[in-house]
Amino acid sequence: MKPSNLHHETIKIVALAGGVGGAKLADGLAQVLPPENLTVIVNTGDDFTHWGLNISPDVDTVCYTLAGLANPVSGWGRRDESWQVFQQMERLGAETWFRLGDQDLATHLERTRRLRSGESLSSITRDFCQRWGIRQRILPMSDDRVRTMVNTVEMGELSFQEYFVHQRCQPTVKGFRFDGIESAQPAPGTLEALQNADAIVFCPSNPWVSVDPILKTLKNQTVFESKCLIAVSPIIGGETVKGPAAKMFRELGFESSALAVARHYGKSLLTGFVLDNADAALADAVADVGISPLVTPTLMTQPADRARLAQDVLNFAKSFLL
């Protein structure tokens, strides 16, 4: 028998997500919502070509997480992974700064084959989700090519994975460019999902390189008007749990804090902002920005933390809908 607190929700949610942090909250939302009430729109600005294959790291991270297939330690890639191909590629002198495991490779091989035969990323993702037993809707933000470029002091402009994985986020960030974003169309189903949503949740993903590219791709921000929009801070106590968001805020001349994240999105976009207990002292300042704060534990260490945070976010959203 299902615990009584599960799947009783009738609220329709669209979550905007990047990689690991986004996938965790999406998984929490999947635990507390009926599957048909959750759509996740995922950043594809991190996508790139490696070993001749089309890699969509954030889409895969969200899919693997919702399917229960994700590596629980790294958060990306597959659990119980083997590295036979990777070792042989290394022996042959191939580039090995980006690690692709054997099971993960099957995803990239089949995705690449289908893209080359003309199928869209959203259609491929829908089919993979069905095969992995995922009942929620996971949509890439666009079927068109968007590439996040990171402008750095030391190395000029780098592609996102070059900056993130190869250079380990070490170069100093000056700004970002989303190559292709002007002509990229939102993927089929994204605008309809947003129109039908009761609330839109910005997952605790990097505002600069995960959520912003999604927002910029959706362009027509009228879908956000009169909607309840809730963002969860990826910054806790001035630092990020994972990834370079805090470092980016500092290097771009902002303080690195949950408050800076709330200001980044702004009151014209957000209804509510969720910040960690550690940042309770910032709640009044968030309210002064014109955004309602919710202070609650936001660190998702255990799977149960994901569902609890998701429930807090839903209750918070519902308080605006009554």
Site string for ligand FO1, 259-278 (x = CB under 6 A): --------------------
Between residues 60 and 276, which has the closer beta carbon with respect to ligand FO1? 60
| 3 state SS of 199 | strand
Residues sharing a CB contact under 8 Å with residue 110, sequence separation 6 or more, in sequence order? 124, 128
Between residues 20 and 262, which has the closer beta carbon with respect to ligand FO1? 20
| Phi, psi (rounded to 5 degrees) for 179 | -65, 125
Between residues 127 and 255, which has the closer beta carbon with respect to ligand FO1? 127
Q: Which of 321, 14, 71 is CA-nearest to residue 186?
A: 14
Contact 22, 174 (CB under 8 A): no
Contact 138, 125 (CB under 8 A): yes
Q: How far is the CB of 209 from ligand FO1 (least distance, A)?
A: 8
Contact 43, 205 (CB under 8 A): yes
Between residues 44 and 256, which has the closer beta carbon with respect to ligand FO1? 44
The stretch near ligand FO1 (CB under 6 A) out of 17-25, 229-237, 248-256, 266-274 is 17-25
Left if phi > 0, otherwise alpha if psi is -120 to 50, otherwise beta: which for 49? beta
Number of residues that bind ligand FO1 (CB under 6 A): 17
The stretch near ligand FO1 (CB under 6 A) out of 14-22, 129-137, 215-223, 252-260 is 14-22
Contact 191, 223 (CB under 8 A): yes
Site string for ligand FO1, 68-107 (x = CB under 6 A): --------xx--------------------xxx---x---
Q: Tokens 């991270």 identify what position?
A: 61
From residue 86, alpha-carbon distances to 41, 49, 91, 154 in Å are: 30, 16, 9, 30
Site string for ligand FO1, 152-181 (x = CB under 6 A): ---------x--xx----------------
Q: Which residue is nearest to ligand FO1 (CB)?
A: 19
Q: What is the DSSP letter of 223?
A: G
Q: How far is the CB of 268 from ligand FO1 (least distance, A)?
A: 26
From residue 202, alpha-carbon distances to 106, 205, 249 in Å are: 30, 8, 18
Residues 184-213 that bind ligand FO1 (CB under 6 A): none
Q: How far is the CB of 59 from ligand FO1 (least distance, A)?
A: 8
Q: How far is the CB of 216 from ligand FO1 (least distance, A)?
A: 17
Residues forming the site for ligand FO1 (CB under 6 A): 18-20, 46, 57-58, 60-61, 76-77, 98-100, 104, 161, 164-165
